[in-house]
Amino acid sequence: MDSNSTLTGKIALVTGAGRGIGRAIAGRLAQDGALVGVHYGRSEAAALELVEEIRQNGGRAFALGAELGVPGDAGAVFEAFDAGLRKEREEYGGYGAGEEGVREEYGRYGAGEKGEREKGERGEGEREEGESAPAAEGSLDILVNNAGTSGSGPVSRATPEIFDRMIAVNAKAPFFLVQNALPRMRDGGRIINISSLASRRAFPESLAYAMSKGALDTMTLGLAKELGGRGITVNTVGPGFIETDMNARRRTTPEARAALAARSVFDRIGRPADVADVVGFLASDAARWITGQYLDVGGGTDL
């Protein structure tokens, strides 16, 4: 595999990794040496195909399925992630089992670390005093909150159901995925949230979607400050128009494609790899001094 090996020994989870931007991100992290959990909601065949592709190229990956935007979604994702990781370790070994950084006792941030909760201050999913720590602790280095949904329409066409769906998938799910990830994440880890230029531009044609991505941007800021003591960086990547299934309806004619391309100074529509390469950088040690930032990956959109 043509690998930079910058992430060798690291474990990553990429949500919504079966298609589009998430697929490119998972492939890039695997190329750089990480063991990648390829999450999917409904695209099982695509996720399994990607895992096979990564393995054939000399990388390591496993698929895990769980729908987002439903009650208990974050817990279901990590239940599947933990099971997939255990199986991967049993078959191939390595990647965190018994390595430095595995937490052995209580607390969301590990015993004795900055941010350890006092007794009685447990959050959702945290353990009572005296309960044993799960074997999953110390089993994650990189979380990429990529999965999302779009198509909310303008305010005049919005419904409570559509609004709730946007918030549930694009904001609530990442929030609780982070909550579940932190006990597992080793110090010096990476949280990378995939947002959208829609959160930084007037985007009335999909207002609830833009609002949900704005919430993700705000989460990045708070987490970056909270987790700095553990050396965990938290950043947002904001893609512009990228050629994926999600926005295919906006590229149905040559004229429509040309109009989208013209919004970039490079006069083209972005590719998933354009975003994946930025995520690969943020996941690496080269980005250790970058946190709490929104990286515009829009190819100079609307300059």
The catalytic residues are 195-196, 209, 213
Rounded-to-integer distance, Cα 273 and Cα 262, Å: 19
Phi-psi label, residue 72: left if phi above 0, alpha if psi -120 to 50, beta otherwise: left
Contact between residue 168 and residue 71 where contact means Cβ atoms under 8 Å apart: no
Show the CA angle centred on residue 65, arms to residues 178 and 194, nearest 5°. 40
Q: Which helix (H) or strand (E) holds 192?
A: strand 185-194
Question: Tokens 């447990």 sit at which residue?
Answer: 122
Closest residue by Cα to residue 16 from 73, 84, 98? 73
Contacts of 155 (CB under 8 A, 6+ apart): 204, 207
CA-CA-CA-CA dihedral for 198, 274, 190, 84, to nearest 10? 100
Biggest alpha carbon–alpha carbon distance for the chain? 64
Cα–Cα distance list, 186 to 8, 86, 215, 296 (Å)? 15, 17, 25, 27
Look at residues 184, 22, 21 and name the one whose alpha carbon lies nearest to residue 109: 184
First to last CA, the chain: 38
Q: Looking up tokens 């941007």, which residue turns up? A: 217
CA atoms within 13 A on the CB side of 201: 18
